[in-house]
Structure 1
């Protein structure tokens, strides 16, 4: 495998709106991010991914872009962005941005021109189609609910949107449109950006016939992803994108890819893949409901373990995936992946250790490093997220009571990850001196950076040790390029694996069970690298290891080849 500059890096996702507000308007800003670069450096972060900061009406929190060349004034100015790039570079850190190019905002100049002339050149930047027998062109349901087709005012045409109606899909079959996008991407890379996280990119390939599918809901519509899964040829578009942009700059790219066909993994992340990496969502999709959040199955540890192991074994044949516990589109991982008895500092450290020491590129989401959990939501009025509101209505239509639907949304809402970062135990968790755009999680008084800075045994200080261990001179090679080998899969509640190369054999073992567990070691312990016990010790005998509930250890074993 050709070694790349990003292989041994640790990344951190910032959701700018909720990170730190410095001007009192209740919205996080670039100045807040700049002020916390030293905090991130101390955590061991190399790559910072910023969720969208472009000019936007914020119908979908900035994933509806009105101007790809402008910074939203809510976040600051282009001069402040340039300062962020320069300050990050001084600290040997890289900035990557969100690239949202499946769709734009309905306020974008291109779409406004398309509406003004539905038969003109700009209409072909989108998908404008005539209806059928007084109905939309096809029966697709958007990701946010309702039809994917919206009437073009004053015409017999509709335009296509897989997300909100304010997010019209861009027509990637149009070479002029593609060149406009490539020019924009290269402009940012010339500016000094190190790469992009690429949003919803699998959706760019459409079946231009837009055939109907069998309805899968009471609304008579079919999920739009069925069309995505049925069509071939996205690879050609992605290769054109890579060769016209990312490849020229040795840029780091991480794709948000769902609905990938089983045999396509090497095409996406192999030696000459479309992207540097893609996120591993295998654990997250275990709680996808058939019809929505309301019928989402409960997480089972055995299935979670099996999903991660399968993804690791499959991926290491070809390249790297990006490993996450949570992001801005998911509820908090500590609340989702840990049973109630494990939603403690020890349990959170355990979950973090497993994630960060898997093979692949670790991504930490803001607040994960202090163990932020889901908030308590008292009413639907407290939510902001467009998807959460749609899921509430879906649950109610399925027969759930108001309280039951609220509980579903409280458990699964993306707003759980978007509550403001908890810096202190003071007003609004130290996020803002104004009124926060989204409520602060009430847990901030107990879970915050300031308190954890003072506690040597805190989740934050453990994460610092964990990241430092992964990047240490002694272990960087084995944690970056070493094989992943699962172990003790037959032991209930235990998630364990080796990271192994020619010179090192590292065992990572965690007990997610409620009771203590004992495992037989295959060789002798040479060194204890990390433990989430306060005294840093392990309970072992010559050939066995005893693990308390929620205990995790990182051990170097005699290397048996």
Structure 2
């Protein structure tokens, strides 16, 4: 397996709108990020993934781009961006940008031209179709509710948008579109950025003919996902992108790829495939999901462990894993997988241990290192298009009980991750001197950076230690993975092996105390405790341990 900087790094994800506001307008910005670079350096971060800061009308929080070569006014300007890049590099922090090229904004000059006439040179930059029997060209449903088709009166045709109607899909079959994308990538690489996180990149190739999707009982729309994800030409496009752009720079790439399995992921990330370095898969994030993400179902630890272990084992030696439990689209892990009340600190540390001790590149989402939690807003305080559209379609449409829907939003909604970063216990958590664009989580008085930095037992210092251990121990990065005690519904435990070295990771996933019994086939002559979230007697025998609520321990065995 090749050794590279992006395998050995730890990524910190910044959602700039909610990170730090420098000018009091209530919206985080680039200068706010610059102010906090020393904080990231102290944590030990050496790669930052910055969510989109490009020009955008902000229909979907910057994922609808109207100019790929300019900065959104709310965030600053190109001079600010260049200063940010320079200040990061001074601190040995690499910068990974978001690449959003499955779709653009409907306010991008390409689309403005495209909708002018059927013979406009930009017409074929997007996917236009005639209606069928007085209806949309097919029955696909959008990720953001409603149809994927928007009728445009001017030319009496429909354009395709897998997401919002203000996010028309680009037509990757058009060679000129691909050239435009490769040129804009070179523009940013030539500025000195260090990589791209590629938004829904496995959706860029649609099945020819765009046939109807299957329709389940009670579904308004057909399921177009199998006809858009991992499409027939996606690998051809990514190999072309690699040849034309990626191979010419020492950079990191991670593709967001909903609907992949370890087998299909290996096609994107195989070291001999010349496509991407790693992908984000969603299987573990879908645990406990019913017919929609708002339909919450019970799940068992064995289900979750099986998914995590499958990705560790089946991608080992074939490709590289991204390790994450939350991001700007996913709720806070301590609220979803831990206990964000009585055992918030312990369970946040336990979940961090689980992730950072696995093979792959770990991603820390802003505030995760503090143990920030979900919020329980009423509908009037949510800003996310996905939540608002789903409420209108499911609750107002009579398909889902409001209380059940809100329980789903409080557990799974994207705005859980988008409340402002909690810097201190002053007004608005020190995020802004103005009115924040979205409400601050009321618990900022107790959970904030200032408080965490004064408490040697805080989640922050625990994450700092996890990151330091990773830098100092190649086994954490490159070691093989083997799960033990697979049938336990309380304990998640695994062994990492590199040469003659072994690490033993022991995690109690729940509140009740539980007995850990070391399998007899794991032999050792000495042990060293590397990290734990409770005080532990280092002389304690590990063959039989009574684990406290959400306890985590990592031992080096010899």
TM-score range normalised by the length of the shorter chain: over 0.9
Could you say what secondary structure the match of 1:22 adopts?
coil
Shift of 1:260: 2.8
**Residue by residue, what CA displacement relative to the aligned partner does 1:158-202 show, whole Å, maximum 9, x if unpaired?**
111100000000000000111011000011001000000000011
**Aligned equivalent of 2:481, options 476, 480, 484:** 484
* Contact kept in structure 2, 1:375 and 1:443, CA below 8 Å: no
CA distance in 1, matches of 2:454, 2:340: 26
CA change 1:425–1:299 in 2 (3 A) is farther
Closer/same/farther in 2, CA of residues 217 and 191 from structure 1, 3 Å limit: farther
Query: What CA deviation, in whole Å up to 9, does each residue of 1:444-480 have, x standing for no partner?
Result: 11110000100000111111111111112xx1x1111
Shift of 1:219: 5.5
Q: What is the alpha-carbon distance in structure 1 between the residues aligned to residue 147 and residue 124 of structure 2?
A: 21
Note closer, same or farther for the CA distance 1:399–1:177 as it changes in structure 2 (3 Å cut).
closer
Please report how far the alpha carbon of residue 150 of structure 1 lies from its aligned counterpart in structure 2 after TM superposition: 0.7
* Residue number in structure 2 paired with 1:137: 137
Q: Distance in 2 between matches of 1:268 and 1:230?
A: 10
Aligned position for 1:527: 528
**SS of equivalent to 2:352:** helix
CA contact (8 A) 1:334 1:343 kept: no
In structure 2, how many angstroms separate the alpha carbons of the residues matched to 1:515 and 1:151? 59
- Distance across 1 between alignment mates of 2:344 and 2:243: 46
When residues 401 and 227 of structure 1 are mapped into structure 2, their CA distance, relative to the original with a 3 A threshold, is same
Secondary structure of residue in 2 paired with 1:7: helix
Aligned residue in 2 for 1:515: 513
The CA deviation string for residues 199-247 of structure 1, in whole angstroms up to 9 with x for no partner, is: 0011100123111123236454212213125842211111111111111
- 1:112 and 1:395 mapped to 2: Cα distance? 32
Deviation at 1:279, TM superposition (A): 1.7
2:54 touches 2:71 (CA, 8 Å); kept in 1? yes
Residue of structure 1 equivalent to 2:384: 385
Q: State the 1:536 CA deviation.
A: 4.7
C-alpha contact (below 8 Å) 1:539/1:547 kept by paired residues: no
Given that residues 322 and 363 in structure 1 are in contact (C-alpha distance below 8 angstroms), is that contact kept between their aligned partners in structure 2? Answer: yes
Q: Which runs of 5+ in 1 are unaligned?
A: none
Unaligned runs of 5+ in 2: none
Aligned partner of 1:240 in structure 2 is 240
Shift of 1:403: 3.3
**Mapping 1:158-557, distance limit 5 Å:** 158-216=158-216, 218=218, 220-229=220-229, 231-260=231-260, 263-273=263-273, 274-290=275-291, 292-339=292-339, 343-377=343-377, 379-396=378-395, 397-472=397-472, 475=473, 477-513=474-510, 514-520=512-518, 522-524=522-524, 525-533=526-534, 535-537=535-537, 540-541=540-541, 543-557=543-557
Q: Distance in 2 between matches of 1:470 and 1:299?
A: 31
Q: 1:129 to 1:214 in 2, by over 3 A?
A: same
Deviation, structure 1 residue 406: 2.3
Kindly tell me: are residues 298 and 118 of structure 1, through their superposed partners in 2, closer, same or farther at Cα, counting changes over 3 Å?
A: farther
Whether 1:68 and 2:65 are equivalent positions in the alignment is: no
C-alpha deviation, 1:404, in angstroms = 3.3
- The aligned residue for residue 38 of structure 1 is 38
CA distance in 1, matches of 2:330, 2:542: 42
In 1: Cα distance, 2:516 partner to 2:503 partner: 18
8 Å contact from structure 1 (residues 517, 549) kept in 2: no
CA offset at residue 526 of structure 1? Answer: 2.0
Shift of residue 398 of structure 1?
Answer: 4.8
SS at match of 2:34: helix
Secondary structure of 1:236's aligned partner: helix
Cα distance in 2, alignment partners of residues 295 and 199 from structure 1: 25
* Alpha-carbon spacing, 1:280–1:318, altered in 2? closer, same or farther (3 Å): same
1:84-137: CA deviations, max 9, x gaps?
111111111100100000000000000001112233220100011111121111
TM alignment of 1:11-90, pairs within 5 A = 11-90=11-90
Specify whether residues 250 and 92 from structure 1 end up closer, same or farther in structure 2 by C-alpha distance, changes over 3 A only: same
Specify the SS of the correspondent of 1:295: coil
- Which stretch of structure 1 is more off in the superposition, 104-113 or 329-338? 329-338
More displaced 10-residue stretch of structure 1: 414-423 or 499-508? 499-508
Alpha-carbon contact 2:262-2:311 (below 8 Å) kept: no
State how far apart, in whole Å, the 1-side matches of 2:342 and 2:98 are.
Answer: 33
- Which region of structure 1 is more displaced relative to structure 2, 392-401 or 361-370? 392-401
TM-score between the two structures when normalised by the length of structure 2:
0.96
The alignment covers a number of residue pairs equal to 552
Kept after mapping to 2: 8 A contact 1:34/1:87: yes
The answer to whether the 8 Å contact 2:201/2:255 transfers is yes
The verdict on how the C-alpha distance between 1:345 and 1:538 changes in structure 2, with shifts beyond 3 A counting, is farther
**Offset at residue 258 of structure 1 (A):** 1.4
Structure 1 stretch 199-208 or stretch 103-112: which is displaced more?
Answer: 199-208
Deviation at 1:331, TM superposition (A): 1.1
* Aligned partners of 2:66 and 2:105 also within 8 Å: yes
Q: For residue 544 of structure 1, report the CA deviation from its aligned partner.
A: 2.7
